[in-house]
């Protein structure tokens, strides 16, 4: 049994892919944002509104730590900003097989601008500029934690899931 963390920007498909991957592997699916909401009994927008991003990052780091200590056989969909914190990057590298779902800014823009109101970091006069800036800032951090990177733009969820299953098979066969 293992721990697989999906990383990537908002809208890269982490939750959708994660849920299907978990089903296929017979692992438990955990969405890190939902896990935080359950632990804190607060919605993500509420955490941002009351404690700011710094407080949210602290909650995120603690949640990641708790999951890494306790869980086996888990597929985790992380939040897009988890890689901004060095301790969270270290946790991902130590305790998880990290799969980076990489999408172009155009793909991300098309997907997330539809429901930008639910995303605290996109409450901006120019969410498109904000998305491009955040993506550019985070690119290297996603690469840093990733054990494998998948370009998701052209692929269906099923294809991405199968790619990850094949990659895991090959990786465990090496051992
Ligand atoms: C964030 C992404 C969100 C959520 C929070 C912050 C980010 O998760 O954790 O709003 O900093 O990119 P998703 O990537 O699941 O949308």
Q: Which residues sit in the known binding site?
A: 11-16, 33, 57, 80, 119, 138
What pLDDT is attached to residue 94? 95
What pLDDT is attached to residue 118? 78
Whether the CB-CB separation of 156 and 94 falls below 8 Å is answered with no
What pLDDT is attached to residue 1? 59
DSSP letters, 80-147, are: TTGGGSHHHHHHHHHH-EEEEEE--HHHHHHHHGGGGGG-GGG-SS-HHHHHHHHHHHHHHHHHHH-S
Say if 154 falls within a structural domain.
yes
Is the CB of 2 within 6 Å of ligand 1? Answer: no
Residue-wise burial string across 52-90, b where 16 or more C-beta atoms lie within 10 A, e elsewhere: eeeebbebbbebbeebbeebeebbbbbbbbbbbbeebbe
What pLDDT is attached to residue 4? 97
Two tokens, residue 157: 């969820």
- Report how many domains make up the chain: 1
Say if 116 falls within a structural domain.
yes
Q: For residue 40, what is the domain's CATH number?
A: 3.40.50.300
CA-nearest residue, atom 9 of ligand 1: 79
Q: Distance from the CA of 79 to the center of ligand 1, in angstroms?
A: 4
Is the CB of 80 within 6 Å of ligand 1? Answer: yes
> Which structural domain range is residue 145 located in?
3-164
Whether the CB-CB separation of 145 and 89 falls below 8 Å is answered with yes
Q: Distance from the CA of 172 to the center of ligand 1, in angstroms?
A: 30
Q: Distance from the CA of 8 to the center of ligand 1, in angstroms?
A: 10
Is the CB of 83 within 6 Å of ligand 1? Answer: no
Say if 21 falls within a structural domain.
yes
DSSP summary character for residue 41 = T
Say if 173 falls within a structural domain.
no
What string of pLDDT tens digits covers the 175 residues of the chain?
A: 599 999 999 999 999 999 999 999 999 999 999 999 999 999 999 999 999 999 999 999 999 999 998 767 999 999 999 999 999 999 999 999 999 999 999 999 999 888 777 788 888 889 899 999 999 999 999 999 999 999 999 999 999 999 999 999 998 887 6
What pLDDT is attached to residue 113? 85
Q: Which atom of ligand 1 is nearest to the CA of 60?
A: 9
In angstroms, rounded to a whole number, what is the distance separating the alpha carbons of residues 86 and 25? 29
| Pick from 78, 116, 102, 77: nearest CA to 155 | 102
In angstroms, rounded to a whole number, what is the distance separating the alpha carbons of residues 13 and 107? 11
Question: Mean pLDDT in the chain?
Answer: 94
CA-nearest residue, atom 16 of ligand 1: 10
Say if 23 falls within a structural domain.
yes
In angstroms, rounded to a whole number, what is the distance separating the alpha carbons of residues 5 and 76? 5
Say if 172 falls within a structural domain.
no
């Amino acid at each position: 049994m293992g721990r697989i963390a999906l990383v990537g920007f908002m809208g890269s498909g982490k939750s959708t892919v994660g849920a299907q991957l978990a089903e296929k592997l017979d692992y438990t699916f955990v969405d890190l944002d939902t896990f935080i909401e359950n632990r804190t009994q607060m919605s993500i927008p509420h955490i941002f509104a009351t404690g700011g991003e710094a407080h949210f990052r602290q909650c995120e780091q603690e949640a990641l730590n708790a999951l890494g200590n306790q869980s086996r056989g888990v597929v985790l969909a992380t939040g897009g900003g988890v890689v901004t914190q060095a301790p969270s990057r270290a946790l991902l590298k130590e305790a998880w097989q990290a799969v980076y779902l990489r999408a172009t800014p155009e793909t991300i823009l098309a997907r997330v601008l539809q429901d930008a109101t639910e995303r605290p970091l996109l409450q901006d006069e120019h969410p498109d500029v904000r998305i491009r800036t955040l993506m550019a800032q985070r690119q290297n951090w996603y690469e840093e934690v990733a054990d494998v990177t998948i370009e998701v733009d052209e692929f269906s969820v099923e294809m991405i899931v199968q790619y990850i299953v094949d990659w895991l098979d090959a990786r465990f066969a090496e051992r």
